[in-house]
Amino acid sequence: MTTITHQAPDQDQVTAGPLSGYTVLDLTRALAGPHAGMMMGDLGARVIKVETPGVGDDTRGWGPPFVGPEDNQQATYFLSCNRNKESIALNLKSGEGRATLGRLIAESDVLMENFRTGVLDRLGFDVATLHELNPRLVILSITGFGHDGPEAHRSGYDQILQGEAGLMSLTGSGPDDPQRVGVPIADLLSGMYGAYGALAALLEREKTGRGQVVRTSLLASIIGVHAFQGTRNTVAGQVPRAQGNHHPSIAPYGLFGCRGGKVQISVGSQKLWLAFATAFGLDTERPEFASNATRVENHPALVAEIEAAFAAYDPQELLDMLDAAGIPAGKVRTLDEVYAWEQVASQGLLIDVEHPVLGNISLPGPPLRFFDAATAAETTRTSHTAPPLLDADADSIRQWLDRIGHTP
């Protein structure tokens, strides 16, 4: 891991990453939009985060946990979604704040916002005005339930959308035990879809010379990952429900008990089933287990057979045996185990940054890596900055605007 000193980068100096040279204006708060902005920053873009004076992004107050000195505590929630950004605080209800925002818009490639529908219009920055200021601007807008339709006015928070979009009905120990996913997955997915859409619009801009509006929502992001559960309903007419830690269409595939613990296995083909059954003495000719379809139909009996076979082994013994037999398998790690795992470090998934209040801290790292095909050299951005303090970069941002001297 590389320690990076936090400082506002000199924007005349190219930052490593495929989005080097692009500027993203991040007007978002909470998680969905900030996650999208962080993804763009991880790819090398300059990301300027506009915050409310005095309080900043909502997540600066979301805790505990808070860390740092009593008089300057930092929310770990905010730290999770704002690396590789600069911060400027602007009062968008004031003429001065709107004027500065207009200058930033004119110099940006992407503007990201997750206000309620109509808020940006009322501030004087409707889409037509934004494109008057900057015809090449890509506008990413994220809402809870969508930008139009009968429920567009509703506020969207992650857990509400996990329920409304059906995800909670699929998650839990059984049909009567709906559970949310352990991370704010609707927010994260809408941020990912948003960044993906913004990148596509930047690519389109290369052909047309014009920016466009990209819209997504927490509702759309959850429905977008319904995958096979969605087509079970739309095509097969089934209503999928939660069934714990086992797959509804593949068997055996899930979490199984053994001596002193549990392991996960994924037997996703008939070839793997034969290898698995042979390794653990299961009858490959037994009719109710002969095919994947019959194994799914007879799932309770299958689980009982497998857990009886696993009872003689502790988790690590079992994982070694499964690995020797070529069966995909794994343990359930706690997060401290994950971040201590050598494989995680080897993939650049833990980075060290220098925070102006907290000093050297470790953050989960970017999930993408890039390589030059001609040289096989890695071109992933490796220079990262800590999430900024509120308004920490205001002076350098204004100096940059003055230096380029553009007034919309």
Catalytic residue list = 187
Which residue type is seen at 100?
T
Task: Please give the biggest Cα pair distance in the chain.
Answer: 79
| Residue 63, C-beta contacts closer than 8 angstroms, at least 6 positions apart | 73, 75, 76, 77
**Do residues 317 and 263 touch, judged by C-beta distance below 8 A?**
no
Q: By three-state DSSP, how is residue 26 classified?
A: strand
Q: Among candidates 148, 199, 187, which has minimal Cα distance to 44?
A: 199
Rounded-to-integer distance, Cα 145 and Cα 156, Å: 6
**Do residues 3 and 162 touch, judged by C-beta distance below 8 A?**
no
| Residue 386, C-beta contacts closer than 8 angstroms, at least 6 positions apart | 4, 6, 79, 83, 353, 354, 355, 356, 358, 361, 363
Rounded-to-integer distance, Cα 108 and Cα 121, Å: 19
How many CB atoms are closer than 10 A to CB 207?
7
